[in-house]
Structure 1
Amino acid sequence: MIRRRAFEAAQPPPARPIDEDPARRVEAKYLRLWTTSMRDLPFVNPALSVEAIGFRRHGSTGESLAGTTSSATGDWIGAVITPWVIGLLLLPGGGSLWSDRRPGDRCHVTFPIGPIEFIADYEPDADLPAYQYCPLFAPPSRFASQIAAQAAATAALDALLKGGASEDPASIPAAGQRESSRRAFLRRFVKT
């Protein structure tokens, strides 16, 4: 028997690349969520507020129009801190990381640290209609302050984009072990 989803979202139109730093748009989106639907939920952390952290381009397609490599190309990767989740966001920027997906679809995007699973979402009327997210801490109840959440989000982005120091291939753990070590790495930054 073949299992099928009871509901499968329609394929959204191709995402438009975002040209400018998306941090303000990310904050506006999550502030709107905070005020309209999340504020009174029992699992929110009142010590945290909405903040976009460290958005930068990554995954350049290699060549700019002038034929030289440009740091102004690539998709946007950054983190968002909210009272209900701290996570990574991937936004279209014209690079090689982004792929259009149906809302709810999961995809693995390869970074220097290894493949990371993102979940696609699409809101046609939003300032950020297409985005992919990867929850890191949900809910972020163990964070005592915004500063601690900022440190964890920054450390996660640095680890994601820089990977580990150059490793001896014999010392690289198997896939399952590497996944566990990533989780252990992120947990080191949660301070109560």
Structure 2
Amino acid sequence: MTPNREQHPRRSVHADASAWGEMLSAAYRDIADRTMRDLPIFNDALSVEAIAFRAREGRVVGMMVTPWFMNVVIPMRDGTSQSSPGPGSNLRLRFPAGEIEFTVSDLVPVGSIASYSLFSPMFEFEDMASARATAEAALAALMSPANRAASHGTDAPHISSFDRRHFLHGVLTERRA
């Protein structure tokens, strides 16, 4: 550990998560400039921004907003483990609001990432402020155990996974019979 980490371990973990989010946004800005800008799914009113990347239970998690999508994103570890899922694989992770299934992909120069799509394309957002507010609210809802507890009332059916269709409408998990 560096001396700064020894003195302020919480702050440095947060700084590492934030730095990873910024590295991710730099990769997506490059993609935006090289290949996405002229496509019909590109919302010119938006920009690329990493929102609220933080450490959570040994993983970095945050929201990635681009002019063509909004995703919950986590970095995969080094990817050298045989148990690490490869690109195109799915990875189920539990959050306080429920379990969601991420898709694993490779993003040069960042490496392997796991993402969960909330919006694509992004035409319902008129400006970056509204996209940012939605991303922050979505991540807060995902991290709130109260959302899971509310959906597990005494009369509630079994809840097994996160449902993106209901994500911002107060029903954060898909009900299964």
Tell me if both proteins adopt one fold, taking TM over 0.5 as the criterion.
yes
Select which of 118, 132, 136 maps to 2:114. Answer: 132
1:105 matched to 2:101: no
Q: Closer, same or farther in 2 for the Cα pair 1:171/1:49, shift >3 Å?
A: farther
Pairing of 1:170-181 with structure 2 (within 5 A)? 170-175=154-159, 179-180=162-163
Gaps of 5+ in 2: 1-14, 171-177
Pairing of 1:139-150 with structure 2 (within 5 A)? 139-150=121-132
SS, match of residue 131 in structure 2: helix
TM-score by length of 1: 0.69
Aligned pair count reads: 148
Corresponding position of 1:41: 39
Question: Which structure's residues are more often helix, by fraction?
Answer: 2
Gaps of 5+ in 1: 1-18, 60-73
Q: How far apart, CA to CA, are the structure 2 residues paired with 1:171 and 1:36?
A: 52
Deviation at 1:44, TM superposition (A): 1.2
Corresponding position of 1:89: 73
SS, match of residue 164 in structure 1: helix
Deviation at 1:130, TM superposition (A): 1.2
TM-score by length of 2: 0.74
1:151 matched to 2:151: no
78-87 or 154-163, which moves further after superposition?
154-163
Per chain length, whose mean CA-contact separation is higher, i.e. which structure has more relative contact order (CA < 8 Å, sep 6+)?
A: 1
Corresponding position of 1:13: none
Indicate if the aligned counterparts of 1:76 and 1:92 stay in contact, CA closer than 8 A.
no
Q: How far apart, CA to CA, are the structure 2 residues paired with 1:90 and 1:75?
A: 7
| Cα RMSD after superposing both structures | 2.4
Indicate if the aligned counterparts of 1:83 and 1:140 stay in contact, CA closer than 8 A.
yes
SS, match of residue 42 in structure 2: coil
Deviation at 1:187, TM superposition (A): 5.1
Select which of 50, 55, 58 maps to 2:56. Answer: 58
SS, match of residue 52 in structure 2: strand
